[in-house]
Structures are given as structure tokens and as C-alpha cells.
Amino acid sequence: MPASVYWISGGGCGGDTMSLLSLESPDLLEFIEYARLRLLWHPSLSNGSSRDFEALNASILSEETPLDILCVEGSIIRGPGGTGMFHTINGVPKKDLIAGLAKKAQYVVAVGTCAGFGGIGRDGEIEATGMQFHREIPGGFLGEEFRSKSGLPVINLAGCPCHSDVVRGVLTTLVEKGPLELDDFHRPLEWYGLLVHQGCTRNEYHEYRVEEKEFGEKGCLFFFKGCHGPLAFGPCNKILWNRRSSKTRVGVPCFACTSPEFPRSFPFFETQNIEGIPTLLPAGLDRAHYMAYKGIAAASAPERLKQRKTKI
């Protein structure tokens, strides 16, 4: 029997939907068929009327129509004053509909960093928050103790946007009832168990602290240009965009868009530091060991790296 999927948009830009629409090999329509999905609703794919939409919601909430997977894209808007009236649908706060649907779903998936952790607007007047986290703090909209009918918490597919292959992989795993191990922020370890730094083509420059202060060179962007690759967990250099690229591969710093704290308040292209030492250090390193190691590494950097010559 096909697994039913309901995709609803909260407060956001729709970037995760745009990512999903770019799915290839198979494409989105082929994937829906092969994975045996029954798409109940998607704001960009469904062509039913508002009356059809209301009837579907009533049917799910009454449990006449089973709901296997609820996908939420975008943050939950609670403003003003917790009423949710800044974001309504047919005169009803959208947050109330999402809460009702979440209680009926076998699995709840937060697609994108906004849905997972609040993202843009989480500290503003719209009172945005994530489904089960607010930044790194458990709770969010549904509360720390929430569990879907399957017994799992909200599954967070972080990213701005989340890569379509991650969405496809997680939905396939849920349909096939395969194992899905989550980290402390409810992100699937299969895709979020490694650093963006792992697989980066600039790794060797980082290890020898061959730094770049301007864009356009091959060196490491961590020390001056704000790259969060050694700090952020995500699949960006494992699952390439368009099957060929990532931010760091084209010389753009990692913004840590898979992090609960994204977006941070300081500039993307500037590394925060104290006397030249980054305030946020690579995962697993303390400040004393970092200072000793990087000083030695920089002094022993090979000339070919200093000259930015590709190894032959």
C-alpha cells in the first residue's frame, strides 16, 4: 500500500521545494512512483481547490485518511503574541493546522533549517521557531517530549536548502522502515554524521594553514573568510550539488547552514577571532592544542602549497 505524504509550507522562502524539484536520476515524479508514495498535498504540485484542501485536512484530522509522513518546510510562525495570526490559512493560524497534522502522522520531517531550528525570523516579531528546537534549545513548537505515532521525534533535515538527495533518502528509509539513527539535533547520521570539511578539496591547505585573505585562490577559507567547514556537520562535500559541486569547491566559504544557529549574526565572509585565533575552533580541538599544532603546521607547509600549485 502506498505511503501517504503531506507537504506543508510554514514561514520560509520555498528553497527546499525548489531543491526537491531538481531531483534527478530518478526525477521527482519517477521517485514518487518507485518509492510507492501517495502525495496527498504539496503546495507546488497539487492543483486542488481550497475546498479540496479543507476537506483533505478534515479527513486527516478525523483519521479517516491515514497520514504516514508529514513534511514541514519553513519555520513555525507564532506571532503576534503567540497567536499565529501573522501566518494564517483560510483565517486559521497555520501553526494550529501543523500541530493537528503532526499528532496524526506516523513520521514528522522538518525539511530545511528553518523548519528544524527556526532560521530567519526566530528572534523577531514574527516569533518564528523550529518544529522541536529553537536554535540549539530543545522544545521549539511541538515541545521536547513530542513523538510521532512511530515513536520518533521530529526528523530534522537541516540545510538552506536541504539537498534533494537527502530528502529522497530519508523518505525512502521511512517507507521501507529501515534504521534511522539521529544525532543530538535529530538529524540523520547517515547524512549529518560527517563534517563539511571532510571531502573538501581544500583540506591540505587547511592542515598546513595556507590561508586566503581574498577570494579566487585555492587556499583555506577558514582562517580569514569565515568558512565553517571544520565546524559544521552536513553532506555538502559527500552529496554534490548538480552532482559536481559544493560551496568550498567553487571557492565560497561554508556558511554552516545545517547548524541550529544558522544564520549567525556576524558577517558570512569574516572569521571571528581573538588575536588571530578563530573564536570557533574545528570540532574536537581545544585552544591550546590548536595553537601549538597550527603553528608547527604553518612552518612546515610544502612550497607547492604556498605557491598554490596543484599536486601532480
Domain extent listing, the chain: 3-188, 194-312
pLDDT of 225 higher than 80: yes
pLDDT of 249 higher than 50: yes
Q: Domain 3-188 has what CATH class?
A: alpha beta
Can you give the length of the chain in residues?
A: 312
Tell me which of 102-106, 138-142, 174-178, 291-295 is least confident. Answer: 291-295
Q: Residue 181 phi/psi, 5° resolution?
A: -85, 135
pLDDT of 309 higher than 70: no
Confidence class for position 310, pLDDT limits 50, 70, 90: low
Q: Hey, what long-range contacts does 54-61 have (CB within 8 A, 24 or more apart)?
A: 54/90, 57/97, 57/100, 57/101, 60/6, 60/101, 60/104, 61/100, 61/101, 61/104
pLDDT at 261: 95
Confidence class for position 168, pLDDT limits 50, 70, 90: very high
Task: Name which of 143, 121, 141 is nearest 130 in CA terms.
Answer: 141
Please tell me the CATH superfamily of domain 194-312, with its number: Cytochrome-c3 hydrogenase, C-terminal domain (4.10.480.10)
- 3 state DSSP class of 137: strand
pLDDT at 62: 97
- pLDDT top residue among 76 and 294: 76
Confidence class for position 121, pLDDT limits 50, 70, 90: confident
pLDDT of 191 higher than 90: yes
pLDDT of 273 higher than 50: yes
Confidence class for position 280, pLDDT limits 50, 70, 90: confident
pLDDT at 294: 78
Tracing cell 516569533 back to the chain, one arrives at: 127
Q: Find the mean pLDDT for residues 174-202.
A: 95
Confidence class for position 312, pLDDT limits 50, 70, 90: very low
Whether 3-188 shares its CATH topology with 194-312 is answered no
As a whole number of angstroms, the distance between CA 284 and CA 251 comes to 25
Answer whether 0.75 is exceeded by the pTM: yes
Q: Find the mean pLDDT for residues 42-54.
A: 92
As a whole number of angstroms, the distance between CA 107 and CA 295 comes to 48
Q: What is the mean pLDDT of the chain?
A: 93
Q: How far is CA 117 from CA 108, 120, 258, in A?
A: 14, 9, 10
Our CA angle for 42, 35, 67, nearest 5°, is: 50
- 3 state DSSP class of 72: strand
The partner residues of 9 in beta bridges, in order of sequence, read 73
Q: Find the mean pLDDT for residues 127-137.
A: 97
pLDDT at 240: 94
pLDDT of 6 higher than 80: yes
